[in-house]
Amino acid sequence: RPRPGPGRFRGCLAGALLGDCLGAVFEGRSVVKLPDLLSFLRGLEPAPGPPEEGEAAGSARRETLSYTDDTAMSRSVLQSLLAKREFDEVDMAKRFAEEYKKEPNRGYGMAVVNVFKKLLSPKCNDVFEPARAQFNGKGSYGNGGAMRVAGIPLTYSDVQDVKKFAKLSAELTHANSLGYNGAILQALAVHLALQGELSKETFLEQLISHMEDVEADDKSLTDARALGFEDLPFSRRLKKIKEFLELSSVPKADVLFELGNGIAALRSVPTAIYSFLRCMEADPDIPAHYSNLQRTIIYCISLGGDTDTIATMAGAIAGAYYGEEQIPPSWEQSCEAFQEAQKLADSMYELYCQRL
């Protein structure tokens, strides 16, 4: 199997950052009208024609788009892996909590902030305990474990390591299997995307076969049943994606009904994966000059709901698959801290190669 090049690492982190920054503008809107989204995006592009007075040629009337908790936590994951050269739960937990303390207004989930507060207490001596206490001991099933997980497949090339450390990294905040299994699925998607060249069908089949294994353990079965879901809920949604991809067109309403656009991992990680796979093909509603990666982010945001998180997850997958070439400078430069993302990507590439 060929080793992925550095452009995939840069693409992955830039795609994730773009999805978060662009998606955050629309987060929580139940309906996003595509013409409004496209008009917003045109505002990021350099203005055609002669520059106006005081404006550099080709510059855009842009303001910097801020990143949210999705990127703040992703960066803590990356920085911990780079400092420790492997997964270290105590170091990662500390970075999550310190980052929250430093910038608490990045849009964190309502419940997860209680985990950070407990982690900051000197009385905490098991970093997994605060997450286990969430939601009366059932643990969170939010998508926070999945939204930040890309650093794991950028560190570990072995698929069993990807599963193991995606789970552990998510369990620092998300003890419900419907939360951490979403993180495993997202990590596997980035892992496969990094290999590139895979067809839609192979990509999905591999995800289904891994998730049927992941979801077959006792805790996954118990947690799914306790919430009233059928067995193997992620695997089932991956099979629904397979059905969708066989149709010539799928209405947005069907995507929202079957896959969702919510803050639960189960209602957002499969949606991100579907968006990536669907946007391998042209979309009659999205202008053809956009790259596949841009189309993926545009499509995710057009679904409404948890747009920053669905777009950051799909952006990480698409960026790993297509590489940095599909990201226009005008989009990158409109995001807060895009240069840091490039530096982190180069350091991650170095770590990945060193560990091979």
Q: Which two tokens stand for residue 320?
A: 């790993």
Lookup: tokens for 111: 């419940």
Q: Which is nearer to Mg ion, 157 or 296 (CB)?
A: 296
User: Applying CB under 6 A, which of residues 109, 233, 260, 319 lies at the interface with ligand R7I?
Assistant: 109
Interface residue with ligand R7I among 144, 153, 270, 304 (CB under 6 A) is 144
Query: Per residue, what are the HEC states of 60-118?
Result: CCCCCECCCHHHHHHHHHHHHHHHHCCCCHHHHHHHHHHHHHHCCCCCCCCCHHHHHHH
- Minimum CB separation of residue 151 from ligand R7I in Å reads 16
Residue choice 177, 195, 296, 309 for contact with ligand R7I (CB under 6 A): 309
121, with CB counted inside 10 A (0-12, 13-18, 19+), is exposed
Tell me whether residue 37 or residue 351 sits nearer to ligand R7I (CB atom).
Answer: 37
- Provide the 3-class DSSP secondary structure of residue 335: strand
Stretch that binds ligand R7I, among 10-18, 104-112, 269-277, 341-349 (CB under 6 A): 104-112
What's phi and psi for 142, nearest 5 deg? -65, 170
Cα dist from 214 to 16, 120, 334, 354, whole Å? 25, 32, 38, 28
Under a CB-based contact definition with an 8 Å cutoff, are residues 23 and 309 in contact?
yes
Q: Which of residues 265-304 bind ligand R7I (CB under 6 A)?
A: none
Contact 335, 50 (CB under 8 A): no
The stretch among 88-96, 100-108, 116-124, 295-303 that binds Mg ion (CB under 5 A) is: 100-108
Q: In the block, which residue shows the tokens 């994966």? A: 273
Does residue number 107 form part of the binding site for ligand R7I (CB under 6 A)? yes
Q: Does 111 bind ligand R7I (CB under 6 A)?
A: yes
**Which residue carries 């910097």 as its tokens?**
64
3 state SS of 142: strand
Asked if 110 interacts with ligand R7I (CB under 6 A), we say yes
- Which residues in 308-327 contact Mg ion (CB under 5 A)? 308-309
Interaction between residue 68 and ligand R7I (CB under 6 A): yes
The least CB distance from residue 39 to ligand R7I, in Å, is 24
263 binds ligand R7I (CB under 6 A): yes
For the record, the structure tokens of 256 come out as: 């929202």
- Please state the closest distance from residue 170 (CB atom) to Mg ion, in A: 16
- Binding segment for ligand R7I (CB under 6 A), chosen from 80-88, 134-142, 190-198, 248-256, is 134-142
- Which residue in 171, 215, 306, 324 binds Mg ion (CB under 5 A)? 306
Binders in 169-188 for ligand R7I, by CB under 6 A: 176
Pick from 142, 182, 260, 319 the residue near ligand R7I by CB under 6 A: 142
Phi-psi region of 31 (alpha: psi -120 to 50; beta: other; left: phi over 0): beta
**CA gap 216, 232 in Å, rounded:** 7
> Binding of ligand R7I at residue 140 (CB under 6 A)?
yes
3-state SS assignment for residue 187: helix
Residue 26 within binding range of ligand R7I, rule CB under 6 A: no
| Binds Mg ion by CB under 5 A, chosen from 44, 68, 127, 190 | 68
Binding-site ranges for Mg ion (CB under 5 A): 68-70, 107, 306, 308-309
Binding-site ranges for ligand R7I (CB under 6 A): 68-70, 107-112, 135, 138, 140-144, 147, 176, 263, 306, 308-309
